[in-house]
Amino acid sequence: MPIKKSENKLVPNKIIFQKDSYYKFKVDSQMTISVKSGDKIKAGGALANHNIQQEKIVDVSYRGSPKVAVGETIEKGMCLYTKGKFIPKKIFSEVTGIVKEISKDSIKIAIKDKSPTFSQTDLKASFDSEVISVSNDEIILKFPSLHINLFGSKGEPSIGPISYIESSNIKAGKIDESKVKGSIIITEKITLDIYPLLSTLGAKGIIGNSIDYYLYRDMIILAVPVGIISGFGNLNEDVNLKKYFKDNEKKWAWLDTSYDRLVVVENDCPPWAKDYKFDLEKIGIA
- The pLDDT profile of the chain, 286 residues, written as one tens digit per residue, is 343 444 567 888 899 999 999 998 888 877 888 899 999 999 989 898 876 556 788 899 888 889 999 999 999 999 989 888 777 888 899 999 999 999 989 999 998 655 544 445 678 888 899 999 998 889 999 999 999 999 999 999 999 999 999 999 999 988 989 999 999 999 999 999 999 999 999 999 999 999 999 999 999 989 999 999 999 999 999 999 999 999 999 999 999 999 999 999 999 999 999 888 998 888 887 5
- How buried is 66 (Cβ within 10 angstroms: 0-12 exposed, 13-18 middle, 19+ buried)? middle
Chain center to CA of 142: 16
The CATH number of domain 54-113, selected from 2.40.50.100, 2.130.10.10, 1.10.357.10, 2.30.30.280: 2.40.50.100
What 3-state DSSP class applies to 20?
A: strand
Distance, in Å, from the CA atom of 149 to the CA atom of 207, rounded to the nearest integer, reads 12
Q: Do domains 7-21+143-283 and 54-113 have the same CATH topology?
A: no
What 3-state DSSP class applies to 33?
A: strand
pLDDT at 50: 75
- pTM of the entire structure? 0.72
pLDDT at 122: 77
DSSP label at residue 199: H
Chain center to CA of 110: 35
Taking alpha carbons only, the member of 200, 205, 272 closest to residue 240 is 272
pLDDT at 53: 57
pLDDT at 240: 93
pLDDT at 194: 95
What 3-state DSSP class applies to 169?
A: helix
Reading phi first (left if > 0) and then psi (alpha if -120 to 50, else beta), residue 271 is in alpha
pLDDT at 12: 82
pLDDT at 52: 57
What 3-state DSSP class applies to 128?
A: coil
pLDDT at 131: 96
- Topology annotation, domain 7-21+143-283: Glucose Oxidase; domain 1 (3.50.30)
Domains of the chain by residue range: 7-21+143-283, 54-113
pLDDT at 4: 42
pLDDT at 137: 87
pLDDT at 118: 42
